[in-house]
Structure 1
Amino acid sequence: MEQEKEKEKEKDAAQKQPPAEEPLGWLAKFDRRFTLVKGLSVVTVLSSLFVGSFQYLGSYQDKVSAQAKENMQAAAKTFDDISTKFSQVQALQQQLFSDYATALDDRADASEQALAVKSAQEILKVYEDAQLALFETGELMARNAQMYIDWATNFRRDPTEQSAPTSDPLDQTLLRAYDFDCDHNLPQFMPANGSTAAAPRVSAENACTIDAKHNWDPAYSYVDICPKNREKAGSNESVTIHWYSAKHQVLVMHYCLRNLHERLAPVRHWASRPEAKAAASEASPPVDRDNIQLAIDLQAKRLNAFMNLATFDMDGIRESYRPDSFACRVPIVTSVVGFFNDSCTPIKTTPIIVTRR
């Protein structure tokens, strides 16, 4: 009996001893302890996370491609709309003024003068309709340039930033109140000496900037205008015009084109009269032909500057949404790259933000 009891005690002691650990036994033990209620093991969870990461990256890239296509189409449409309307009016202005100059040119023969008068009379109605359509939509075109060109190329905007409607004061009313000088303020994109060095412009003393925090315009790519008549302007502060802003360029083009239209009033009056040739000599004294031709040439330069900026920004859209490398498709690696640059994530994602109301 005692021997049997001893055997039973040894058997019980052997059962109580922990079994010898097998290789990678810790992983099996870890897996058993973290088994989920529905039977999902930690290995299954990790696999699901990796699969989900790949699916997210694929979905993200699809959305980036769709956003790139949408942004490029909107920017191209805005560019085409603005450029076409301004170039049409400016071409008609040039032709109308050229006809006027030919009709008054004593060196031109009678047939040339007659053709110039006929051309001016035919162009006048087309010009008046085109300039009226342009002036009616000038502010809207400036806003479209802001939305579809300026904002579309603001790739570094942080979605977590609390933003408010822009406080940019520049508009047609301000340019008129400040008596903006169209003959001396032309768009520039680099220093006048030809250097490509860029000087950060974080703020300007006594100047209203669009957003001083993100204002990095290169030197000479802006101009601070001051009111010539402070009582008329109702302000003593200067306002900054940024030539890297498509909105600002459109506003200035619109204002200067309107200004030029008013200076062409004697020419328009001459072309509206059937006896234009006979009245040409009467209409010529108030018209400074050299200065008007200079103003027309400067307006052409403004349009060219806008087109250069718009195509430059559209190329920026194309470059920022270009196909990414294989590293941008690998979980974890993509996140690590994102700490250093935005080559894998050109569009910032919006984080989960809980707001209380």
Structure 2
Amino acid sequence: MEQDLPKDAAGTQRTAEGPLTWLTKFDRGFTLVKGLSLVTVLSSLLVGYFQYLGSYQEKVNAQAKENMQTAAKTFDTISTKFSLVQALQQQLFSDYSTALDDRADANEQALAIKSAQDILKDYESAQLTLFETGELLARNAQMYIDWATNFRQNPAEQLTPTSDPLDQTLLRAFDFDCDHNLPQFVPSKGGAATTPRVSAENACSVDARYNWDPADSYVDVCPKNREKAGSNDSVTIHWFSAKHQVLVMHYCLRNLHERLAPVRHWASQPEAKPETKASPQVDRDRIQSAIDLQAKRLNAFMNLATFHMDGIRESYRPDSFACHVPIVTSVLSLFNDACTPVKTTPIIVSRR
């Protein structure tokens, strides 16, 4: 037996209302300015959503291309300049060692002396050019490698121009030991360290394991002469920073250049005949070791730069289909940045 439906005021029996009937009535009753219906509003929002995704992806692709080009150019410039100076350094010192080698015959020694004299001018010119632009190369590494590959940088984060104090002056004041402290890239187990990093004030007096950075990816340098340094605080060198690596390479290359003063003086003499007593084997071994360490520093920088550039390639690769589904994209962005590799600028950003 069918259930009687309610009647209206005129006594007419009403018909059953389904979901579509209810939605139609709601749509007719829901209007905005100038009579925009709910369906029109939702359609406009959907169109705007896809337009935003398309615009975002275009900007990301353009940024990816620019970042890769500038990072590659910076990598090539820094690597080439340091490689040239270090190659000439090595050859100059090899000629010097050959001239001192008692096992070398007269012809070999004569060729070594001639080679050193020919190389000296090129070496002095190359190292002077590098030393004049060393700080600029470090800043370029910071802008075009470190910053360009910091995909998780929050645009609203307040930064200051002095947030990274490391420079040549600090390394010199802290008497950085170039014979040790080579770059390390050993990641910690499970990602970030589980213990907080100590502050600069007490980094020199506590165990170095208390650091947020990946294990062995940093070194806290303490001033050997606190009066000369003008501070009791330590300065941290982050090996995952291209800027820090270039600063250290530049500083240690300068130190090595000064240690090679006797070699350069010898090569500058037209009839130079090095005295064996003036350069014992142990000193030559130490200088050769310093040259080898410098080569390892350059290799570490090249590894870091190419690692960062590979990060650019991975972060800017094409999005999956899920990144273009309304609502789903926003949900995925809460857990990872696969859909939005570059953080968007907030509505209000203040750098003052």
Q: Does 1:199 align with 2:197?
A: no
State the shift of 1:164 in Å: 2.3
Q: What CA deviation, in whole Å up to 9, does each residue of 1:44-95 have, x standing for no partner?
A: 1111111111111111111111111111111111111111100110000000
Name the TM-score, length of structure 2 as normaliser.
0.87
Alpha-carbon shift at residue 32 of structure 1 (Å): 2.5
Correspondence 1:284 to 2:283: no
Mark the runs of 5 or more structure 2 residues left unpaired by the alignment.
Answer: 1-8, 204-210
CA contact (8 A) 1:226 1:237 kept: yes
* Partners of 2:291 and 2:326 in 1: CA distance: 57
Counterpart of 1:145 (choices 130, 141, 147) is: 141
Cα displacement string for residues 77-124 of structure 1 (whole angstroms, at most 9, x for unaligned residues): 111111110011000000000011111212111211111111111111
Q: Which amino acid aligns with 1:336?
A: V
Q: Provide closer, same or farther for how the CA distance between residues 327 and 82 of structure 1 changes in structure 2, counting only shifts above 3 A.
A: same
Look up the SS of the partner of 2:235 in the other structure: strand
CA displacement at 1:135 relative to structure 2: 0.4
The equivalent of 2:170 in structure 1 is 174
In structure 1, the partner of 2:308 is 313
Q: Larger radius of gyration, structure 1 or 2?
A: 1
In 1, Cα distance between the equivalents of 2:110 and 2:318? 60
Change (3 A) 1:202 1:144: farther
- Aligned equivalent of 1:53: 49
1:290-310 superposed Cα distances (whole Å, 9 cap, x missing partner):
111010000001101111111
**Of 214, 219, 232, which aligns to 1:218?**
214
Equivalent residues in 2 for 1:226-265 (5 A)?
226-265=222-261
Q: CA deviation at 1:195?
A: 7.6
Instruction: Please state how far the C-alpha of 1:286 moved relative to its aligned partner.
Output: 11
* In structure 2, C-alpha distance between the alignment counterparts of 1:198 and 1:36, rounded to whole Å: 51
Check the 8 A contact 2:155/2:349 in 1, yes or no.
no
3-state SS, counterpart of residue 248 of structure 2? helix
Checking the alignment, whether the CA contact within 8 Å between 1:222 and 1:240 is kept in structure 2 is yes
2:319 pairs, out of 315, 318, 324, with 324
Cα distance change of structure 1 residues 338 and 291 upon mapping to structure 2, 3 Å threshold: same
Runs of 4+ in 1 over 4 A off after TM superposition: 16-23, 194-198, 279-283
Q: 1:333 to 1:199 in 2, by over 3 A?
A: same
Answer yes or no: is the 8 Å Cα contact 2:156–2:349 preserved in 1. no
Partner of 1:101: 97
1: distance between equivalents of 2:230 and 2:61? 48
Query: Does residue 344 of structure 1 match 2:339?
Result: yes
Q: TM-score, normalised by structure 1?
A: 0.86
Q: CA 1:47–1:230 in 2, change beyond 3 Å: closer, same or farther?
A: same
SS in 2 for 1:240: strand
Corresponding residue for 1:157? 153
Separation in 2 of the partners of 1:70 and 1:216?
31
1:122 aligns with 2:131: no
Query: One-letter code of the match for 1:241?
Result: I
Residues 30-41 of structure 1: pairs in structure 2 closer than 5 A: 30-41=26-37
CA contact (8 A) 1:103 1:280 kept: no
Q: What SS is found at the alignment partner of 2:237? A: strand
Contact kept, 8 Å, 2:222 with 2:234, in 1: the verdict is: yes
Instruction: Indicate yes or no: 2:256 matched with 1:272.
Output: no
Report the number of matched residues: 335
Identity rate, percent: 80
Moved more, 179-188 or 150-159: 150-159
C-alpha offsets along residues 209-261 of structure 1, whole Å, 9 cap, x if unaligned? 9xxxxx84211111111111122111122211111111111100000000000
- Residue aligning to 2:59: 63
The equivalent of 1:8 in structure 2 is: none
After TM superposition, the structure 1 = structure 2 runs for residues 1-80 of structure 1, keeping only pairs within 5 Å, are 14=10, 23=18, 24-80=20-76
- Provide the C-alpha distance between the structure 2 equivalents of 1:105 and 1:135, rounded to a whole number of angstroms: 31
SS in 2 for 1:224: strand
Q: Look up the match of 2:130.
A: 134
Contact 1:169 1:208 in 2 (8 A): no
Name the CA distance, whole Å, in 2 between partners of 1:126 and 1:201.
50
Contact 1:187 1:243 in 2 (8 A): yes
Query: Separation in 2 of the partners of 1:183 and 1:265?
Result: 18
Any conservation in 2 of the 1:266–1:286 contact (CA below 8 Å)?
Answer: no
1:33 deviation in Å?
2.5
Structure 1 position 317, deviation (Å): 1.4
CA distance in 2, matches of 1:282, 1:275: 18
Query: What letter corresponds to residue 293 of structure 1 in structure 2?
Result: Q
Does structure 2 conserve the Cα–Cα contact (< 8 Å) formed by 1:201 and 1:217? no
Deviations along 1:143-199, one digit per CA (max 9) or x if unpaired, are: 1111111112211111222322242221111111111110011111117xx989763
Partner of 1:241: helix, strand, or coil? strand
Closer/same/farther in 2, CA of residues 319 and 190 from structure 1, 3 Å limit: same
CA positional deviation for 1:140: 0.7
